[in-house]
Amino acid sequence: MDRFDKIFNFTLSVEGGYTNDKNDKGGETTWGITKEEARKNGYRGSMKDLTKEFAKKILEKDYYLKNRLNEVKNDKIALSICDWSFNSGKWATKKAQVTLNKYFGYDLVVDGIFGSKTIKALNEVEEQGKSEEFLKEYHDIQRKFYHSVVEYNPTQKDFLTGWLNRVDRKEKYLKEMV
């Protein structure tokens, strides 16, 4: 199984099928793809009918390739960032830059854009044998982020347990990933 298939399979396992929760800022969603994203990518049907293959194309184009995760050497780091990006947008890439700055001594601009300096830093972490350390710190920051979302907007409290479980499931998946 290639790298992106591993990412997509994990994401599907935590996203599930169709939902339309009134408190979910994403609104109507299938396989983690919001109606707005689907429309932006040319989908015109009912969200209940959105196929996994269509969702996969969006995830690959708008989250994996757009964030240049295909250039990140470590599969686990690429998966973790892609999954959080899919769940929280630019916060995932910004927090990866924060992790690199705070714990690994980099001085990256925290702009949420994975340019050549951020990609180089992520690959240096891999070359230094510190990928697991990066993931630990990154996941801790992800958990804190979810708590801050709820603190800022209490209407999101119903989602906190699911978000935290998502990080736990991701860590378990990464441990089992070859």
What is the spatial distance between Cα 18 and Cα 99, in angstroms, rounded to a whole number?
A: 33
Q: Which residue has the tokens 């994203």?
A: 37
pLDDT < 50 regions, the chain: none
Range of the domain at 46: 3-176
List C-alpha distances in Å: 101 to 9, 70, 92, 96, 125.
Answer: 30, 22, 14, 9, 12
Q: What is the pLDDT of residue 25?
A: 79
Structural domain total, the chain: 1
pLDDT of 41-75, one tens digit each?
Answer: 999 999 999 999 999 999 999 999 999 999 999 99
- Cut 0.75: pTM above it: yes
CATH code at position 23: 1.20.141.10
